[in-house]
Structure 1
């Protein structure tokens, strides 16, 4: 891909975000589009596959602060990817200086560079300035992110899950060199394997990626039928993910070296698995502590009682002291989340009085008798005092 083609792409439009979007907005947009257009969700849909590749490429640039800065600077210089001038007075008009001609210039020429512009283009094409040796240098593979959903108990205790993933990976047919089995790539005769050629435009002299080998330094005469000479193909693979005990909702787990393969022998990127935890109908969580709300009767709180409470493993009994108020929290130590670092949480039991919706005759009479006997106990003494002070 030439510099002009690269800068002509609108990565912000691919992700549907503005050019001043935050990193979180870019990530959110990418995750939504990648999920919608993932090959697993759209089998046989070539347009969805192309969209998936396009948003992945856009996210690879915009998610990296350094690459994004260089891309933004290049777009400003090149009129935001337009085919006209740089935005200088008269650019693209009659007699104006249209810098887009630089990319169509084929005359060989002197060595040199474009200073700041050379640095911008160098960053986008894996080099700095006009250093020829940097054009085909190894490049680490991009990181990949995917999502898994687990239930509450698995998040508490940990789990080992199979993860089926469709993502770019080293081509299994050519093993990454891009050539058909039985053949080998040859050194590009135009750039001598450097991946760069020197060009000149009037007073300017600079280096740009070699068009014959597309900046790789090598030419593949007989491309691999699986990856079409790219050395990378989209494959479906199954990985084993170990979810540690106590994982939080929306937490990411890093699998080193399981991302996109590197180029030129460089290391592969990492795979980040974002965990989504399905809420439990009874239990909640606060840090390493599990929480549960247990309904109790008024008599259990007033007279005291021994109640049975569930945990994720078994049942336990707790003593409710006489005169306990509704809303009090009892603590069952060591019944919470145990993490790999040895930390141990508790089970926090909130007692909540349950009021019957209907009473039979015996219950009605018993409560009326209790209310008459307990009339001397004012449940709202402070409010009563304030009402008296106000004369009401």
Structure 2
């Protein structure tokens, strides 16, 4: 009987389903728009992965929120030290914070979100011309799930990825879709100024010179990603993006559709969108060179059944140096006999290879180089 039952149930070929989805180039937005009422099996996550999706924000009823930092005192000789302390506190306990009065005009923020939404709203016949996986590390790429072939289960989002630096990887301006070209170039320029200010404050928070992080090359690798998380008919069976940590410094702009969650201790905390605010987090690279003074934290995006898609525009700032001879590790200024290095040294290519060799995950590189 068992043999007959087995025979009646054809073996599920996940890779075949993944390949067909990828070759269709319609992305999850195309699936959502096709009117499906259940999601394909390749998007269904394991019960273990889904087990904590429904946990309330807090058992006590007091809602936790990530820190909110006002950057208006950045140039104040008397208030700046207080700003440094706020940042240090936020980055050592949460790894995440939101910033207001960051100097980017509201019109630029709105235009950036609208332009990315307009790109994703195009008919898939238009977008599919840009759909590829070959340009994962250069130029312009539109795809669904950058780790589609590496992850255990796919997630419910599509992305437009544009490399802005270093020069060897930078997208040609004419290759950026015209629909959002001007806005992406402006967003890169503005978000870089914010990142530069934040890196100064992070350096000062460690007691090293203000230019230290910049000097390590943290503004030399720049990637802009415009995510779209469309309507999902079964949000309890999948996620918008799986739990992961980032690599360098991340500056994120989101529309008013929530879904971003940050892990704080054992619980997941909702990052409520604040109009005009940017969400900032640090990645594994910064945790390592700060010798654990700053923490890189897992975060994820929930899938949602709302008709309005979640749109987020992320600027990733990473060390652009690619030489095998350049070793990074905890900053020597932070080390003493009482505070030895917690990590071994590594190269950027080793870090990058580790990132691109698997699905999005949490802190595996940190575990790999921890002494």
Q: Normalising TM by the smaller chain, what interval?
A: under 0.3
- Report the TM-score, using the length of structure 2 for normalisation: 0.18
The structure that is helix-richer by fraction is 2
